[in-house]
Amino acid sequence: MNTVTEQSHPALLGSLSPTVPFEEVINFSPGPTSLPKAVEDVIAASFQQPKLTSLALSHRSPEFLDILNHAVQSIREVMEIPDDYEVLFTLGGGHGQFAAVPLNLCHDATDVGTYVVNGTWSRRGRDEAQKYCNAQTIDGSDPETGAFIGFPELTAENIDPESKFVYICSNETVNGIELHRLPKLPEARKHIPLVIDASSDFSTKPIDWHGSNVGVLFVCASKNIGHPGVTATIVRKDLLGEAKASPLCPGVLNYTITRDAGNLWNTPATFNIEVVGFVMDWIAEQGGVEEIERRSIAKASVLYNVIDGSGGFYGTPVSDTSLRSRMNVPFNVAGGDEDLTNRFLIESWDKGMIGLRTLTPFGVGDYLRASLYNGITVEQAGKLAAFMQDFAGRNAQAA
């Protein structure tokens, strides 16, 4: 292939518009990404009805209040959220919550928040929090390489007893590290609430809300439960109260203000909230979180089996299988060989498999990533696995 032509190929520029028929496209993007086809059909049908859609409804109209109440209730039911938690819809995505968490849980800038940093997003959360609290770090990086390949042990010794919270990211999308169940803090620190960035794995496994002492859990919609523009933030009621938040906390980030206003202190993302309700209905129809987890395990397993069985042609950074992400499977081709990687991206793109390498604030990274959110079926993951096997068979000698 001509080098100039190859380097300008749309697949290498992050294009998500392959030339195959649309029904053959499989979107492995890390987010935003595709919703389940059945949910997209429901959305399309809603726009065919002879009435105002959620894009045009006043957020204070009874029609939208029904949509809002349904979204809140459906999240509660699907995720089995106890009554002592509030379900809030917030703006600003994960980055907004990076600031909102310390501003709501730390009244003074000297208050301690403990951050478990074992990947890109927990590190960004910690870095933002340093502006608003005494953010202490439990370092999860490899001491020799600095790479994030695991999750550190949580002990009474490495958690300040005065911490207002312990913060974790339950799935690090960039690094391919996932906690398949939330940790429980040691007995001497079990009074400290856990804060979870569950943006990329929410709805794919059960949550032990009380057993893990969850205080706050937030989830950006654009991975598994909807479109970008809204974040579901679930807060335990005893952590609310104006006296507990920093006096500098803006109203738009303030959990108590949002709760007291019934999620209507400012104009919410009306359409996006409706879509969250549609997705929750779909999950319930599929058999609930238990079935979604079964599918997630099946999708990830078929790819990891190819990687592990490739004789080194494919590699993945996380060797601990108990921590390998089911949501985001990172892999390289022939140890990162540029020519073979480009060939892999071009051939897969030509077959309609897109989003395996996207342009991010962190560059293209050392690994490709197959993101396996709710919009990806088991069959589609199998198609990628079959292509990977075929590509390895044809190119192993060139590696």
2 has a pLDDT exceeding 60: no
CA distance 36 to 282: 9
Tokens for 141? 């990086």
Alpha helices in 309-361 (DSSP H): 338-350
Active site residue 139: no
Distance CA 284, CA 394 (A): 42
Is cis: bond before 32, omega within 30 of 0? yes
How confident is the model at residue 5, as a pLDDT? Answer: 52
DSSP annotation of 130: T
What does the pLDDT read at residue 1?
43
Please confirm, yes or no, whether 265 is among the known catalytic residues: no
Q: Choosing from 111, 201, 209, 223, which is the catalytic residue?
A: 223
Query: Domain spanning 46-284 has what CATH number?
Result: 3.40.640.10
CB 193 within 8 A of CB 210: no
pLDDT the model gives residue 3: 47
Residue 279, judged by CB atoms within 10 A of its CB (0-12, 13-18, 19+), counts as buried
62 neighbors 165 (Cβ within 8 angstroms): no
Strand arrangement, sheet containing 314-315: 314-315, 328-333, 368-371
Both ends of the chain: CA-CA distance in Å? 17
- Asked, colleague to colleague, whether 3-30+288-398 and 46-284 share their fold, the answer is no
CB atoms within 10 A of CB 353: 25
DSSP label at 214? E
**Res 362: pLDDT:** 64
Cis amide linkage into residue 10, ω under 30° from 0: no
Q: What is the mean pLDDT of residues 42-54?
A: 94
Q: Where are the domains of the chain?
A: 3-30+288-398, 46-284
Written as six digits, the tokens of 375 are 């919009």
- Determine how β-strand 353-354 pairs with β-strand 231-236: unpaired
pLDDT digits (tens, 9 = 90+) for 239-272: 999 889 999 999 999 999 999 999 999 999 999 9
pLDDT at 396: 87
The model's pLDDT over 203-219, given as tens digits with 9 standing for 90+, comes to: 999 999 999 999 999 99
Q: How far is CA 120 from the centre of its chain?
A: 12
CB contact set of 35 (below 8 Å; sequence gap of 6+): 43, 226, 227, 275, 279, 374, 375
pLDDT tens-digit map of 151-176? 999 999 999 999 999 999 999 999 99
Please state, in angstroms and rounded to a whole number, the distance separating the CA atoms of residues 5 and 354: 19
CATH number for the segment(s) 3-30+288-398: 3.90.1150.10
How much is the pTM? 0.95
User: In the beta sheet, which residues pair with residue 115?
Assistant: 137, 167
Within its chain, how far is the Cα of 393 from the centroid?
Answer: 33
228: exposed, middle or buried (Cβ count in 10 Å: 0-12, 13-18, 19+): middle
Q: Are 305 and 219 in contact (CB under 8 A)?
A: no
Catalytic residue among 111, 197, 201, 281: 197
Per cent of the chain over pLDDT 70 is: 97
